[in-house]
Structure formats: structure tokens, C-alpha cells
Structure 1
């Protein structure tokens, strides 16, 4: 072992910078350890501010799920009314979980919720949150049709379409900085887009493609996705909410038929109308 010796002059030089450093450390300790009066600056939000800024172009799955939870709290708290019917909620949850295991992101923890609203609609946010309106449940003729819509929304999550739109909106509106986007702003943008977004043609084709694969792998009849869109388009009523936010429906039906012809499936699950109606008895 070697030893290093210091002269008196060396020690004096070292103390010149040691004393100021010690003073700074003591000052910080006193500030953190002393109870400050209420008007004092709250340093904690400033210290963690960096953790509240997100880079949406490089977001982790954990951050995505957390954003989805925060969006869900806002949506459920002020935007929609959830169904309190335990039978219907369980039925939709079971269909959803059956689909999830055959989706593009089977390891993601999905949450399926029924919205008490007679409009024909369904939507998804981030991190596995899917919402289905009671109006859509009543409009579908069988479980395969309902499952096709849910698979489509799962497809949006698989393709991270909302996340892409959030990035685009943040940049276009000028709220994204070089450091990223504030978490609260991200949540607000995400909620607005999830509820009112004019979905792009490309995203809808992609969600259809992903959804059809998920539907087929889960054993449901592929025809359910086509028949549900056709039924709504042929309805004499006004265009339902579900389709008004999904452009190019006629072209999508054509693309789905082509995909089914190219990769047909033997799945026939979910076509029994009587069984489906019996499962929805609790809605009456």
C-alpha cells in the first residue's frame, strides 16, 4: 500500500475550496430540514418537474399505461356515465379478455368498460382502456358483431394510433417543447382526441386489419365485422356515431371482404342471435 504525504501549504490550499463547499452543504441541509412557513416556495414540484414532462416519441409502456389511467379518471369523472349493471359489465369484460390474448399486445393489462349511452359508439385510449356504449350492444345482432367492434378498438391500441395523433396535435398546437410535453397537457389532448377525434383513413384500415386477425384467432366468425358495418350503413336512421368518426366505411368493407377471401377462417363463434339476446336481457 502506498501513502501520499501533504505539506502544510497543500492542506491550506485544499481548505480554501473545502470551507465554501461545506457551507453550501450545511445551507441546503438547513433549508430541507427546517419547517418553512406557508408562503415559502414549494420546491418539490420544481424538483420533479422534469419527471412530469413526457417525450411522446419515446414513451415507455409503463408511462403509456399511467397516461391511460389518468385519461380514464378524467373521462369517467366528467365525460361519460359508466353502466352499473354487473352482468353486462362482466359479459363485455369476458369478450374483451378472450380477444386480448390473440391481439398484438397480449401482455398489456386491458380494461373494458360499458358506457351507459344509447349512441352507437366505442372508443379506446392508451394503455389498454376500451369503452363500449350500451347503444352499440343493443344494435349488434350477435356476439361476433360486438366482438368485431371491440377487436377494432383493441387494434387501435395495438397500433398506438392515439399516441401518434397526440404527438401530431401537440406539435401542431405548439404546446410541445424540445424537452417534451407536460403530462397534464398530454392527458387533456388525449381525452379530447379519444372522444372527438376525426380518425385518419390509414389508422382505420390498420385497426380493421389488426382487429380482423384478433377476431379470427379468437374463433369468432369473420363475417361479424362486415355484417355490422353493412347493417349500420343500410339503416334508414342517421349515420351512427361509431361510423361518423370512422371515414371511408364503404372502402373498409371492401378491404375486409378481400382480406377474408385471402385468409378465410373456420371460426364460427358468436353467430347465435338467441344466445346473444339472452346475455343482454339485463339491459332491458
Structure 2
């Protein structure tokens, strides 16, 4: 005798096994067919897989952020020259690791790299990737000043500022769809924003605040963040990471106010002589 209840249950399970994947395949295929490619024949298979690699920038997981950060790093390596000085990279990474131990985002792996560029600059992308120019390493008078800039860039990562900017840029340029943003488009937008950061008053203040907290908790002298910003403020060519609104003077006042509310007696990292001798030896 046929067990109709069991038969129907197995039928429903079997139907779900092929029905929902088929629906997903149909949606992905419809996206491919509706994608305008002027002057090019539609190659369905690559587009199908491309359609699957779509990110919702408003709900990006840590794993997805790291994936995008790695691809951005691959692209950036074609735009900037990463230093092959292993000792210098190790030194900057050592500082970064000390700060990362006090990061609000311990769920992502941080990567610190030195860029061969005399411009006094630093920047960050997604997923914990931080870049520091050799020009900035030389401009810092001590380790705490260098750490303050690294902490600031980590603050942008903690605050997920680039993700917000990428979402805004994608919507403004019309490349974001109802399903999200294609991986390659996301990477291109992210790299452009990282190298040409737009002005954002709120993001800079937030990165300063987060960076100062990490700097202090890591045991560095918080005054270094103020001293370095003041020094760079007087240069004829203002560094990129200080050229955004608000001005450096306003940011200095904000930082001084924060330090006064939570004073620290630490002088760690303020040894100018030891730092400069170390950097000279590393850059030989």
C-alpha cells in the first residue's frame, strides 16, 4: 500500500531542492539579459556569474568587506608603488598591530603597507587595508606622530566611512541597481575614492576621535596627534589627509578638547632622536 503522506512530503522536499535554485538562476539570467552593453555582444555565462557577485552596500558583512578590500588592494598595487623594504614595512606594521589591538573592529584583519611616495599622505580602503607614504614616515618627528596618522586612517575603517561614500557615489552616478552594486563597479569606485577622498566634515572628525582613542589606549602620547597636525598645518603644501573640510585648525581644537577631558600622562613614542635614527637606518 502506498504511503501517500510520506510520498507527498518527499515530493515537497524534492520540489524545494530544485525550485528555489531555479528561481535564483532565472533572476540572475534576467539581470544579465537586461544589462545594456552598447556595441558588444552579450556573453551570457560571464554575465551570469558577474550578476551573482553583487553587494548590498547598505548591509555589507565583514567577510564581504574584506573580500572587496583585497580586490581593491590588487588594483591599487597597479596605481601606487608598494615599498619592498621589508624592514620598513615590518616597522609600520608593528605600530599598526599595536593600534589594532585597541580597535573597535577586531573582527577584521588589518594590513599595513608602505607606499614609495614623497608626498606626505596616508589612506585606507575596506577590510582593514591601510597605506602610509614614505614621505609621511619621514615627516613625522617621532613614532607617536606616525602612529597618530595610522590611527586616524584606521578610524575611517572603523567608521566604515568609505562604504558610505561608495554607496552615495554609486547612487549618484546611477550604477547601483535594486539588487545592489556589482563587485567590479564597487572596486573601481572604492579605489577612486581612496586615492581622491572627498571632503566630509563628519567623517574627518569621527576618524580623529576614533584614532585618538586607539592611540591613547595603545599607550602612545595623545599629544602627538595634535603636534603633528599643527606642524603639517604650517607647510606650504598641505597633505591630502588634512586638505579636507573641516580645516586642520578646527580639528586641532577638537582634539585638544578631547585630550583635556581624558588626560594622559604617557610620553611613549615621543623620543625624536631614537625615531629619526631608526628611520634613517631603515631608509638607507
Report the Cα distance in structure 2 between the residues aligned to 1:57 and 1:262, rounded to whole angstroms.
34
Mapped contact 2:62–2:107 kept (Cα < 8 A)? no
Per the TM alignment, residue 2 of structure 1 is displaced from its structure 2 partner at its CA by 6.4
Residue number in structure 1 paired with 2:92: 92
Which consecutive unaligned segments of at least 5 residues does structure 2 have? Answer: 5-41
Contact 1:170–1:176 (Cα < 8 Å) also in 2: yes
CA distance in 1, matches of 2:209, 2:266: 17
Structure 2: how far apart are the matches of 1:50 and 1:177? 11
Aligned residues of 1:104 and 1:155 also touching (Cα < 8 A): no
TM-score, normalised via structure 1 length: 0.83
Report the secondary structure of 1:109's partner residue: coil
- 2:276 equivalent in structure 1: 277
Identify if the C-alpha distance between structure 1 residues 224 and 85 changes in structure 2 by more than 3 Å, giving closer, same or farther. same
SS in 1 for 2:188: helix
- Equivalent residue, structure 2, for 1:221: 221
The 2-side partners of 1:122 and 1:269 are apart by 22
Q: Match of 2:248?
A: 249
Q: Give the deviation of 1:103 after TM superposition.
A: 1.1
**Corresponding residue SS for 2:131:** strand
Aligned to 2:56: 55
Q: Structure 1's 87 and 174: CA in aligned 2 closer, same or farther, altered over 3 A?
A: same
Partner of 1:11: none
List aligned pairs for 1:186-225, cutoff 5 A.
Answer: 186-225=186-225
Alpha-carbon distance in 1 for matches of 2:3, 2:127:
59
1:245 to partner: Cα distance = 3.8
Deviation at 1:46, TM superposition (A): 4.3
Q: 1: CA distance between counterparts of 2:155 and 2:3?
A: 67
Q: For structure 1, which segment, 271-280 or 160-169, has the greater mean C-alpha deviation from structure 2 after superposition? A: 271-280
Q: Is the 8 A contact 1:99 1:151 kept in 2?
A: yes
1:28 counterpart residue number:
none
Q: Does 1:126 align with 2:111?
A: no
Q: Which residue of 2 aligns with 1:116?
A: 116
Query: How far is 1:47 from its partner?
Result: 4.0
Query: Rg larger in 1 or in 2?
Result: 1
Unaligned runs of 5+ in 1: 5-40
1:198/1:246 contact within 8 Å kept: no
For normalisation by structure 2, the TM-score amounts to 0.83
Moved more, 65-74 or 243-252: 243-252
Tell me, in whole angstroms, the C-alpha distance in 2 between the residues paired with 1:273 and 1:3.
Answer: 84
**Match for residue 139 of structure 1?**
139
- Distance (whole Å) between structure 1 residues aligned to residue 230 and residue 180 of structure 2: 42
Q: Shift of residue 86 of structure 1?
A: 1.4
What SS does the corresponding residue of 1:280 show, helix, strand or coil? helix
Partner residue, 1:76: 77
Q: What is the CA deviation profile of residues 126-169 of structure 1, one whole-angstrom value per residue up to 9, with x for unaligned ones?
A: 00000000000000000000000000000000000000000000
1:264 aligned residue: 263
Q: Distance in 1 between matches of 2:2 and 2:171?
A: 60
- For 2:77, what is the secondary structure of its paired residue? helix
Instruction: Name the count of aligned residue pairs.
Output: 247
User: Could you give the per-residue CA deviations for residues 82-113 of structure 1, whole angstroms, max 9, x where no partner exists?
Assistant: 11111111100000001001011123101000
